Amino acid sequence: MEKIKIETYILSHLKGILKPPTKNLKHPFIVPGTGYLTELWSWDAYWEALSIKRAFELFGEETMNRAGISKQTAVEHIRGCVLDFLDAQEEDGFIPIMVSVGGLFEGFFHSEHEKGTPLNQCLPFLCQFALLAGEFSGRFDFDTEKLIKYMQYFETRQYDEKSGLYFWQDDIMIGIDNNPTVFYRPKRSGADLFLNSFIYLEYTALAELLEKSYDSRAADARQKAEKLRSAINAEMWDERDGIYYSQDIGFYQTKCVVKGVALHSGLAPHWKTMPLKIRFWACFLPMYAGICDEVRAERMCRHLRENDDLFAKYGIRTLAKNEKMYSLVKSPGNPSNWLGAIWTIANYCVYKGLDRYGKRELAEKLREATLDLLDKNLKEYGDFFESYHPDTGEPFMHAGFLSHNLPAIDLLK
């Protein structure tokens, strides 16, 4: 692969995703790529901010200045994303998944929230985002009270006390748009790995932020992180298959009384969750988050070594090809297709998990596959795309989509 070509493309496009304040986005912010002018998306902006920070570390300030991005400009936009989300917070702690000026979603989430509609709130990256911004700028002066209220909203609206896991309200804007463990399934039933792994990281990031200001509530955040880690390991790990699975928590009791005798009342379920045995890329997020132990990490790697149902020529299929839902159809619109296509962000997260647990051979194989994919698309099409065919590398949609591709910067080292 040609790292120089990838580096050149990234450096020539970074400046275009940095946007000035406008209307209710009062601070500079970051958009996902071409075609996004005034939309701030939570996990897109987080990955881009992480990548910009890494670009300064890898390329240096002089190179970034030549690309039109000074350190001050980068700091303003990374901090600005966090501030814009905090500005959008409601009194009860709710923060919308995205903030838009104009377009389809302007005002949508706030109006639905006012109606009392149960909504998924901002994807669990905001505390990590604030910590990242602080580490990059040296300023850890965000309103931690707002961040605590944001986490409390998850605890009161998206937490299942019985299992200790967090769930989605529905399948709208869940990050992995058509994740089969949530997509088109009953509301408030999907405790999926993506949500729980990143909420664990949110608690650890919140604890670090609180510790920097000597706030005693850091211990509570650490305790909640550990409690969630234990629940993920207890409820989501499958000992027989050697992998983590998302879980169904949508239990209900059928009410039936016959001549005064209540049926289904003698022996209620003793289990807390039902496994959704679907292998998709988020099954490996406990490695990315550092939730699992070394033994489980090794067992999970067998799923990547033994055949190509998950590990394809160009990286990790977002859904294993032997799952019945597997599909490489090019989605004409929402939802974007995560049923097997390669997404660079999925490759990146799995790579970081492998690297974290010292699985060097697999990690290097995945790094090379990812860079080969991006290099191929730059040579043949001159652009990055939203997602790609796992076996041919053919682009699927959305040319100029930087967002989830940018973490490839970290693979250039």
* Closest to 84 in 3D by CA, of 143, 140, 136, 37: 143
Asked whether residue 131 is assigned to any structural domain, the reply reads no
User: Quick check: 1 pLDDT over 60?
Assistant: no
Look at residues 79, 105, 121 and tell me which one is the last residue of a structural domain: 121
Look at residues 77, 98, 121 and tell me which one is the last residue of a structural domain: 121
Cα 267 vs. chain centroid, distance in angstroms?
Answer: 39
Asked whether residue 412 is assigned to any structural domain, the reply reads yes
Which range marks the domain in which residue 367 is found? 295-413
Domains of the chain: total:
2
Arithmetic mean of pLDDT, 196-202: 98
User: Quick check: 64 pLDDT over 60?
Assistant: yes
Contact between 412 and 52 under an 8 Å Cβ cutoff? The reply is no
Say what the pLDDT of residue 160 is: 98
pTM for the full model?
A: 0.96
Arithmetic mean of pLDDT, 271-278: 97
User: Quick check: 386 pLDDT over 90?
Assistant: yes
Asked whether residue 184 is assigned to any structural domain, the reply reads no
Average pLDDT, the chain: 95
The predicted-structure confidence for 213-267, as pLDDT tens digits, reads as follows 999 999 999 999 999 999 999 999 999 999 999 999 998 888 899 999 998 888 8
What backbone phi and psi angles, to 5 degrees, belong to 315? 125, -150
Look at residues 121, 144, 167 and tell me which one is the last residue of a structural domain: 121
Using CB atoms within 10 A of its CB, is residue 129 exposed (0-12), middle (13-18) or buried (19+)?
buried
Asked whether residue 373 is assigned to any structural domain, the reply reads yes
Asked whether residue 274 is assigned to any structural domain, the reply reads no
As a whole number of Å, the end-to-end CA separation of the chain is 13
Residue with the two structure tokens 């039902």:
274
Asked whether residue 290 is assigned to any structural domain, the reply reads no
The predicted-structure confidence for 336-382, as pLDDT tens digits, reads as follows 999 999 999 999 999 999 999 999 999 999 999 999 999 999 999 99
